[in-house]
Structure 1
Amino acid sequence: MTELLARLAEPGQPETLYRALQEETQRLVGHKLFTLLYVDGADVARVWSSHPAEYPTSGRKTMGATPWGAHVLTGGKPYLGKDKAGIRWAFYDHALIESMGLGSVINLPVRYDGETIGTCNLLDAEHHYDEEKLSKIHHLAPLLIPAFLEARRK
């Protein structure tokens, strides 16, 4: 954690932090897709993607009133989807997700001042993620607060 905090002071923000978080989550729990999205009204806007061809940065989508949105965006709780059924329940673009060989997800809400301002998202093969892996990374989400507040101002 100390290393990640030190990265906040380095030049080239927020990309320096985004890359460091991608590397740290890979080390701690692994992932095949890593994305970061900030909340912008009813939309979420992607500011980082490990697979920009499929999930480009600056991509936007309206989340609307979905069960996933109620859980993560409104409720501020992490979402752990262990299998393809969990992916299908949460995401309308589940066909693209599955076509990439992905079948499990962790979504970490980034919370500030009582609201969710973004999410950190890790996806991998079906049954890759469990509660133990979630517990290894949930504490990293607050590191994104400064970058997401800045993104929302622009």
Structure 2
Amino acid sequence: MSDDLATLSALLKEPGQPDTLFKAFDAIAKRLVGHELFTLLYVDGSEVARIYSNRPTEYPVSGRKPMGPTPWGKHVMEGQKPYLGRDKAGIRWAFFDHELIESMGLGSVINVPAIYDGKVIGTINLLAPEGHYREEHVAPIERLAPMIVPGFLAARAAARAL
């Protein structure tokens, strides 16, 4: 884990941000806990906007979703806590696009909030086949989450400058 922190920390000074950081985080998360879908969403008012996706055909960058009041939003966005959905029921409970997720053969999820200045500024989202994720898979991603905050801030600033 300390090597992963050092890797991400060193990458912050490299050019090509925030994609350089996002790709490295994706690779580290895949090695640590596995995933088939990895996305990053930043909070933009009452919406979230996708700023990274390892499967852009199904989940394109710049895709936006409204964030109305939901139990998932209360847990992750307001409560600032990770969400672990172990099975398809957990996916259906959390996401309106559960049919697309299930059509991709995915049925378990980890969502970790990226928190800066006391606010959730984005979410780190990993999805895998049903039953893949267990409680012990959450902590490694949660420990690395602060390292991705500069990437979220840069992506949000760039989007607002357009």
TM-score (normalised: structure 1): 0.98
- Which ranges in structure 2 are unaligned for 5 or more consecutive residues? none
Deviations 1:29-68 (A, max 9, x none): 0000000000000100000001000000000000210110
Please state whether the residue corresponding to 1:48 is helix, strand or coil. Answer: strand
Other-structure match for 1:81:
85
- Percent identity reads 64
Indicate which of 63, 81, 86 corresponds to 2:67: 63
2:144 maps to a residue whose letter is L
Number of residue pairs the alignment of both structures matches = 154
1:21 maps to a residue whose letter is F
1:11 aligns with 2:15: yes
Shift of 1:148: 1.4
After TM superposition, the runs of 4+ consecutive aligned structure 1 residues lying more than 2 A away are: 150-154
Indicate which of 139, 144, 148 corresponds to 2:148: 144
Matches within 5 A, 1:1-150: 1-150=5-154
Equivalent residues of 2:18, 2:155 under 8 A apart: no
TM-score (normalised: structure 2): 0.93
Equivalent residues of 2:32, 2:140 under 8 A apart: yes
Deviations 1:16-41 (A, max 9, x none): 00000000000000000000000000
- Which ranges in structure 1 are unaligned for 5 or more consecutive residues? none
Deviations 1:57-85 (A, max 9, x none): 00000021011011101110000000000
RMSD of aligned C-alpha atoms? 0.8
